Amino acid sequence: MPANDLIKIDNSNLTTAPFSNDAINVSRAALAFYQQLQAVTNHMAHLTDGSTFTTLETRFGIPSGSGNTVYTAMTTLITTLNSDANFLALMNRVG
């Protein structure tokens, strides 16, 4: 990636760019979502051995028998987001 590849949204004139803050807020929300998703799945990983999800289910309030499904969905989402160039650009470059 080039050293100067940040995309600065100009929200200095809301008369001509009334939706500029929306773009900034979406970028920040994407980053916050990603960081929280990582934190939760990292915590979940410490509560399971990959085959037993009882503790994970209890601690997160997940119905019994659904821990593997929830954990797999979350880890798969992280993998998907990590491979999506558009999401990574929005999260890391736009602001």
Q: Which residues pair with 94 in a beta bridge?
A: 7
Could you report the per-residue pLDDT of 51-73, keeping only the tens digit for each? 999 999 999 999 999 999 999 99
**pTM of the model as a whole:** 0.83
The chain-wide mean pLDDT, for the chain, equals: 92
Angstrom distance (rounded) from CA 53 to CA 92: 33
Q: Can you give the residue ranges of every domain in the chain?
A: 50-95
Closest CA to 92 of 30, 2, 10: 30
Closest to 27 in 3D by CA, of 10, 9, 11: 9
Share of the chain above pLDDT 70, in %: 97
Tokens of 79: 């993998």
